[in-house]
Amino acid sequence: MNGVRRAALGVLLAGLAALPFAVGAQQDPAREISESQRRLQQIRQERQQLRGELSRIRSRVGDVSAEIRNIQRQQQVSASLLREINLQLDETARKIDETTAEMIATQGELQDKRDQLNRRLRDIYKRGPVHNAQVLLTADSFSDLLNRYKYLYLVARRDRSLVSEVSELARELEMREHELRRSLSDIQYLQSEREQENATLATLRASRGATLTELRTTERRANTRLESLARDERRMTGVIADLERRRRENERRAAAAAAAAPGNANRPPPRPAPSTMTTADLGALDWPVGGRVVYSFGRATQSNGTTIRYNGIGIGAAAGTAVRAVEAGTVEMAAPFEGYGPTVVVSHGGGYYSLYLYLREIHVRPGAQITKGQTIGTVGGEGTPEGAHVEFQIREPGGAAVDPITWLRRRG
């Protein structure tokens, strides 16, 4: 009996010591917390996938736009994660409130039962161990004896029930105390996780800001590059157009002079000098320099979504590598050209031209007659986004740029 009282008193004191740490909970929150934990796990898996995707984006193409979209999605996932954590915090707080209220009620009931048990123990102690026998032996009749025996039986059963109730209440109080301590541990963990997630969200916001700044810088560089290329292309097209006008004007003057010469009135006009490049050369010309194609002819979409047009192909090679003429002709231009650096333009007659841009050095002079395969300069272009390379163009009669790949020999 004394052991039961001491156990009940110890559990009661332990429960009272835990009360000041109670903070909050809801009626039957287990399902809500379980659902929230399931969603939390799904969100964490999605965030892990997004982080892996971001690493692949950065290592594959460095696409800043895709990186920003990924970071925005990570921010959304992180915000969802915070919502779930806050929900679990609220549910756990309500659960703590509920457990605290139940502990207070259980402690009150335990105190009442313990007082009853103490009074009963004092009564038994005062009457002594022979009290029950005296009650039975002093009966006046058999009927009185039965009534007294029934009374003693009911009192004993009530005493046992009271002891059992005190023990049960003590166990229940201990269980509530354990539940409360576990809820307090859960809420501390959730608060720590919320702090970490807030820090992650702040890092993502800072990363997004830095990436946006990088994107704007990249966009400005790309736009500047596009404007510069468009301007350079217009000027180069103008140069070729001037060359074509002069060629045709020279041919017209030669024909007029021949017709005006004595004795040539009935003769047909002289034919222009034969072209060293014709459509028969399609797919048969040697490459001006060996190397990989760093950009192709035509329109190309950049990583930031902008579009750029190339009038030739870029052939990447080590800086200083010799660049050779693809066919014999006359050097029409051999000088630095704004935007393209050292440039050589070779006329092959009949309105066909080959252009060699982004050279480092020029080894020919304007007006010089060159042969097929002759070195005209060396690879430059180190300061361009593509690195060391030469841009090779072919212009057909009229000055239109065509895809040089169709003229060059197919490589393995």
Contacts of 29 (CB under 8 A, 6+ apart): 91, 92, 94, 95, 98
Residue 1: how many other CB atoms lie within 10 Å:
12
Kindly state whether residue 125 falls inside one of the protein's structural domains.
yes
Q: Per residue in 116-152, is it b (16+ CB within 10 Å) or e — as a string? A: ebeebbeeeeeeeeeebeebeeeeeeeeeeeebeeee
Q: How many domains does the chain have?
A: 2
- Higher per-residue pLDDT: 371 or 13: 371
Q: How confident is the model at residue 312 (pLDDT cuts 50, 70, 90)?
A: very high
- Higher per-residue pLDDT: 345 or 78: 345
For 6-33, the pLDDT digits (tens) are 433 343 334 434 333 333 334 455 666 6
The partner residues of 335 in beta bridges, in order of sequence, read 343
Highest mean pLDDT among 156-165, 196-205, 303-312, 367-376: 367-376
Q: Which long-range contacts (CB under 8 A, 24 or more apart) does 379-386 make?
A: 379/289, 379/317, 379/318, 379/319, 379/320, 379/321, 379/323, 380/319, 380/341, 380/342, 381/319, 381/341, 382/319, 384/358, 385/225, 386/294, 386/295, 386/314, 386/316
**Residue in 74, 76, 80 with CA at minimum distance from that of residue 55:** 74
Does 370 have pLDDT greater than 90? yes
Regarding whether 150 and 52 lie in a shared domain, the answer is yes
Q: How confident is the model at residue 142 (pLDDT cuts 50, 70, 90)?
A: confident
Quote the radius of gyration of the chain (alpha carbons, Å). 48
CATH number at residue 355: 2.70.70.10
Which stretch of 61-65, 132-136, 260-264, 318-322 has the lowest confidence by average pLDDT? Answer: 61-65
Regarding whether 40 and 151 lie in a shared domain, the answer is yes
Kindly state whether residue 236 falls inside one of the protein's structural domains.
no
Regarding whether 204 and 115 lie in a shared domain, the answer is yes
Regarding whether 309 and 182 lie in a shared domain, the answer is no
**Residue in 52, 48, 158, 173 with CA at minimum distance from that of residue 103:** 173
Residue 40: how many other CB atoms lie within 10 Å:
19
Residue 323: how many other CB atoms lie within 10 Å:
26
Regarding whether 54 and 183 lie in a shared domain, the answer is yes
Regarding whether 145 and 12 lie in a shared domain, the answer is yes
Domain boundary among 178, 197, 221: 221
Residue 6: how many other CB atoms lie within 10 Å:
10
Kindly state whether residue 72 falls inside one of the protein's structural domains.
yes
- Say what the pLDDT of residue 341 is: 92
Regarding whether 154 and 25 lie in a shared domain, the answer is yes
Q: How confident is the model at residue 320 (pLDDT cuts 50, 70, 90)?
A: very high
Kindly state whether residue 227 falls inside one of the protein's structural domains.
no
Domain boundary among 194, 221, 248: 221
Regarding whether 59 and 193 lie in a shared domain, the answer is yes
Q: Are 119 and 162 in contact (CB under 8 A)?
A: no
Kindly state whether residue 123 falls inside one of the protein's structural domains.
yes
Kindly state whether residue 58 falls inside one of the protein's structural domains.
yes
- Say what the pLDDT of residue 19 is: 36
- Say what the pLDDT of residue 1 is: 40
Domain housing 173: 2-221
Regarding whether 19 and 102 lie in a shared domain, the answer is yes
Regarding whether 330 and 186 lie in a shared domain, the answer is no
Q: One-letter amino acid identity for 307? A: T
- Higher per-residue pLDDT: 14 or 353: 353
For 234-287, the pLDDT digits (tens) are 777 778 888 878 878 887 887 777 666 666 555 555 565 678 898 889 999 999
Mean pLDDT of 97-113: 80
Average model confidence (pLDDT) for the chain? 76
Mean pLDDT of 314-332: 96
H or E stretch at 233: helix 142-260
- Higher per-residue pLDDT: 2 or 98: 98
CATH number at residue 142: 1.10.287
Kindly state whether residue 86 falls inside one of the protein's structural domains.
yes
Kindly state whether residue 371 falls inside one of the protein's structural domains.
yes
Regarding whether 298 and 392 lie in a shared domain, the answer is yes
- Say what the pLDDT of residue 15 is: 41
Q: Are 278 and 359 in contact (CB under 8 A)?
A: no
Domain boundary among 197, 221, 245: 221
Regarding whether 318 and 191 lie in a shared domain, the answer is no
